[in-house]
A = this chain, B = another copy of it.
Amino acid sequence: MDVIPPPLEQLIKELTKLPGIGKITATRLALYILRKPADNALSLAETLSSLHDSIQLCSTCFAFSEHDPCAICSDQRRNHRVICVVEGPGDLLAIEKTSSFHGVYHILHGVISPLEGIGPKELKIKELLERVRDTEVEEVLIATNLTVPGEATGSFLIDNLQQYPVKVTRLACGISMGMDIKYADQHTLARAIAGRQNFS
């Protein structure tokens, strides 16, 4: 459609590169940005421009951080002997939100996915094993996603961690809070039964 001015078309094209943003949403966002004062667009542009310069990976846990080591790795009130392994930074934020974990993290930055050409070497797995080998770690809590690649990555980690004197745990898999058992999928229900907890 040549009725869309090229600069607007360009913005729509850039926005559709983002995950979950299709052409219709991108058009709506672009028109919204255009209708609002230029200051808003400039402020967003500035934040985007400086983003990659101001954020780096923590050299210990590989979280995104302004400083190295990151806020969590440099916090002495946290238990540095318990490492929670997650696929990505979004998972770290979700776990932090619960306020239930007081250890530190290790971010893999992906999962093993042979079809996409991602093997253990493309992830921060070697760095995790070195961390377990070289520092005083008591427990590694594996918190990869409950998906096929997440589970496969978890199994790979479990296999490779067995050479070290460290406790390896996984997040419990079971029925969600507030969930009706008759609506739970059979795989989850099977895992909830297999992992049933003992109160006796």
Contacts and interface: CB of A to CB of B under 8 A. Distances in A.
A93 B27 contact: yes
Per DSSP, chain A at the interface is helix
A18 interface: yes
B41 A7 contact: no
A55 B71 contact: no
A157 interface: no
Nearest to A53: B38
A109 B36 CA distance: 12
Number of copies: 2
Contact of A32 (B11, B19, B97): B19
Contact of A47 (B5, B7, B47): B7
Given A1-B96, A18-B32, A71-B2, A7 B90 contact: no
Contacts of A49: 41-42, 45
Most chain B CB within 10 A, of A40, A51, A92, is at A51
Given A3-B71, A38-B52, A51-B8, A27 B90 contact: yes
28 contacts: A3-B70, A3-B72, A3-B92, A5-B55, A5-B66, A5-B71, A6-B66, A7-B54, A8-B55, A10-B47, A14-B44, A17-B40, A17-B44, A18-B33, A19-B32, A31-B88, A31-B89, A33-B48, A33-B51, A34-B64, A38-B51, A38-B53, A41-B48, A41-B49, A42-B48, A45-B46, A45-B48, A48-B48
Interface of A: 1-8, 10-11, 14-15, 17-21, 25, 27-29, 31-35, 38, 40-55, 63-66, 70-72, 88-90, 92-93, 96-97, 109
